[in-house]
Amino acid sequence: QTVVTQEPSLTVSPGGTVTLTCASSTGAVTSGYYPNWFQQKPGQAPRALIYSTSNKHSWTPARFSGSLLGGKAALTLSGVQPEDEAEYYCLLYFGAAYAVFGGGTKLTVL
């Protein structure tokens, strides 16, 4: 069973920078896993932020960026705003046959 692992929780100060990561139990994450990132606030549907590692949707704020870092997919928030407090999920695709979400990272802005 493939497991995708994220940090359970992170805390960042307003205006600061934080990096969330996404690892696969199968080995290093590459662009071929098409990493996606989503933001979800309580009571709301997820909102897509990043697709195919680093591509932003038209509505994605510029302070969000995606990359590959040390064998993992990464989501970096620069100049964090209070409204960025949310749960963040990554999604990895495995050979077009199935996909797995990470367990989510609860980001606190404090």
Q: List contacts with other proteins (CB under 8 A).
A: 1, 34, 36, 38, 40, 45-48, 51-52, 55, 57, 87, 89, 91, 93, 96-104
Residue 95: Cβ within 10 Å count: 8
Tell me whether residue 14 or residue 88 sits nearer to other proteins (CB atom): 88
CB of 99 to other proteins, least distance (A): 4
CB of 102 to other proteins, least distance (A): 8
Tell me whether residue 6 or residue 17 sits nearer to other proteins (CB atom): 6
Return the bridge partners of 26, or none. Answer: none
Rounded Cα–Cα distance for residues 86 and 62 (Å) = 17
Tell me whether residue 16 or residue 32 sits nearer to other proteins (CB atom): 32
- 54 φψ region: left (φ > 0), alpha (ψ -120 to 50), beta (else): alpha
Contact 73, 11 (CB under 8 A): no
CB of 78 to other proteins, least distance (A): 22
